[in-house]
């Protein structure tokens, strides 16, 4: 089916609403007699208008707002995020990982680990770079120390955000 142009679509709506002037109404009736697509669209819009007119708009009761506002304090706000139990398990997991990594570092497992990052294998245009890129050695013990430090920082954040803050907020709400 062909589309009705926007200007005629707007006229159809105004026609259904009874908002056309007498001259516009006369011209529009002539267009309706000559244009089958326009007649079909008017029929569709009339059907839609009839079905929408038969619907009843639901309205809340007069005391709806009062009822909702009076029951607002009955339900405590749920704290977003992890429960305290899950947070304690997460913190315990982090501390176990830190303990294992610390034990491995203390045992000297990473003392002789010195991997190198070889940048000379990267193909660069010689037009811009005359020298080859260097190889960068890493000390395994320092890398593990950094990982342990970051895990301890994560543990402090978990302890603060997921365990202590909800615990103290709950105590404040209970009035302790």
- Mean pLDDT, each 10-residue run in order, the chain (176 residues): 78 88 89 88 88 82 88 68 79 92 89 79 71 80 89 90 83 77
Predicted local confidence at residue 92, as pLDDT: 92
Residue 132 lies in a domain: yes
Q: What is the pLDDT of residue 144?
A: 87
Q: Interhelix angle for 22-34 vs 36-54, to 10°?
A: 120
Give the pLDDT confidence score for residue 169 in this predicted structure. Answer: 82
| 95 and 154, same domain (yes or no) | yes
Interval 12-30: pLDDT, tens: 888 888 888 889 889 888 8
Q: Are residues 162 and 109 in the same domain?
A: yes
Q: Tell me: do 89 and 152 sit in the same domain.
A: yes
Q: Are residues 170 and 89 in the same domain?
A: yes
The predicted pLDDT at position 79 comes to 52
**What range does the domain containing 128 cover?**
84-174
Determine the Cα–Cα distance for residues 139 and 161; give it in Å rounded to an integer: 33
The per-residue pLDDT for 81 is 59
In tens, the pLDDT along 28-47 reads: 888 888 888 888 988 998 98
Q: Is residue 76 part of a domain?
A: no
Claim to verify: residue 113 and residue 165 sit in the same structural domain: yes
- Cα torsion 29, 34, 37, 41 to 10°: value is 10
Predicted pLDDT at 82: 63
The pLDDT of residue 93 is 92
Q: What is the DSSP string of 89-130?
A: HHHHHHHHHHHHHHHHHHTTTTTT---EEE-TTS---TTT--
């Amino acid at each position: 089916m062909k589309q009705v142009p926007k200007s005629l679509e707007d006229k159809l709506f105004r026609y259904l609403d009874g908002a056309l002037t007498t001259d516009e109404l006369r011209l529009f009736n002539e267009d309706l007699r000559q244009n089958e697509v326009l007649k079909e669209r008017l029929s569709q819009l009339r059907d839609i208008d009839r079905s929408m007119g038969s619907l009843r708009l639901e309205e809340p009761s007069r005391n709806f707002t009062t009822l909702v506002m009076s029951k607002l304090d009955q339900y405590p706000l749920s704290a977003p995020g992890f429960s305290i139990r899950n947070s304690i398990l997460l913190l315990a997991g982090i501390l176990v990982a830190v303990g294992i990594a610390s034990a491995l570092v203390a045992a000297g497992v990473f003392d002789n680990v010195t991997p190198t990052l070889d940048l000379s294998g990267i193909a660069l245009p010689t037009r811009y770079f005359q020298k080859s890129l260097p190889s960068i050695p890493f000390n395994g013990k320092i890398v593990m120390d950094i990982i342990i430090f970051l895990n301890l920082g994560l543990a402090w954040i978990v302890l603060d955000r997921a365990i202590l803050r909800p615990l103290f907020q709950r105590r404040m709400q209970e009035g302790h």
